[in-house]
Amino acid sequence: MSARAKMTDSPAWRTAKPAVSVLIPFLRDDPAELLNLLDEEAASVDGAVEIVVLDDGTRDAALTARLAAQIKGMALPVRLITLPANEGRSVGRNRLASTARGGSLLFLDSDMRPDHRRFLRDWADLAAREDPAVAFGGFSLLQAPTDARFAVHRAMAAKSECVPWTERAKQPEKYVYTSNLLVRRDVFEAEAFDPGFTGWGWEDVEWAMRVSRRFRVVHLDNAATHMGLDTVAALAGKYEQSAPNFARMAQRHPAIVAAYPSYKAARLLKRLPALPRLRRLMRRGAETTWLPVGARAFSLRLYRAALYADAV
Q: What is the pLDDT of residue 185?
A: 94
Output the average pLDDT for the chain.
Answer: 92
> Of 120-124, 127-131, 256-260, where does mean pLDDT reach its minimum?
256-260
Domain boundaries, the chain: 6-229, 235-311
Q: What is the pLDDT of residue 39?
A: 97
Q: How far is CA 299 from CA 15, 164, 251, 278, in A?
A: 53, 25, 26, 11
For 190-209, what is each residue's pLDDT tens digit?
A: 988 888 887 788 888 888 88
Report whether pLDDT(128) > 60: yes
Please report which confidence band the pLDDT of residue 93 belongs to, taking 50, 70 and 90 as the band edges: confident
Report whether pLDDT(306) > 90: yes
3-class SS string, the chain? CCCCCEEEECCCCCCCCCCEEEEEEECCCCCHHHHHHHHCCHHHHCCCEEEEEEECCCCCHHHHHHHHHHHHCCCCCEEEEECCCCCCHHHHHHHHHHHCCCCEEEEECCCEEECCCCHHHHHHHHHHHCCCCEEECCEECCCCCCCHHHHHHHHHHHHHCCCCHHHHCCCCCCCCCCCEEEEEHHHHHHCCCCCCCCCCCCHHHHHHHHHHCCCCEEECCCCEEECCCCCHHHHHHHHHHHHHHHHHHHHHCHHHHCCCHHHHHHHHHCCCCCHHHHHHHHHHHHHCCCCCHHHHHHHHHHHHHHHHHHHC
For 133-192, what is each residue's pLDDT tens digit?
A: 999 999 999 999 999 999 999 999 998 889 999 999 988 888 888 789 999 999 999 988
Q: Do the Cβ atoms of 42 and 16 come closer than 8 Å? A: no
Please report which confidence band the pLDDT of residue 58 belongs to, taking 50, 70 and 90 as the band edges: confident
* 293-311 vs 232-252: helix crossing angle, rounded to 10: 40
Q: What is the pLDDT of residue 177?
A: 85
Q: What is the pLDDT of residue 260?
A: 87
For 113-125, what is each residue's pLDDT tens digit?
A: 999 999 999 999 9
6-229: which CATH topology? Spore Coat Polysaccharide Biosynthesis Protein SpsA; Chain A (3.90.550)
* This model's pTM is above 0.85: yes
Most confident of 33-37, 225-229, 258-262, 269-273: 33-37
Q: How far is CA 302 from CA 111, 152, 273, 306, 309, in A?
A: 26, 13, 16, 6, 10
Q: Mean per-residue pLDDT for 212-235?
A: 94
Report whether pLDDT(57) > 90: no
Q: Which amino acid is located at 96 in the chain?
A: L
Q: What is the pLDDT of residue 88?
A: 73
Considering only CA atoms, which of 262, 103, 238, 283 is closest in space to residue 183?
103
For 4-28, what is each residue's pLDDT tens digit?
A: 888 999 999 999 999 999 999 988 8
Considering only CA atoms, which of 85, 84, 105, 103 is closest in space to residue 94?
105
Q: Mean per-residue pLDDT for 228-241?
A: 94
Q: What is the pLDDT of residue 249?
A: 93
Report whether pLDDT(303) > 80: yes
Residues with Cβ < 8 Å from 90, sequence gap 6 or more?
A: 193, 194, 195, 196, 197, 198, 203
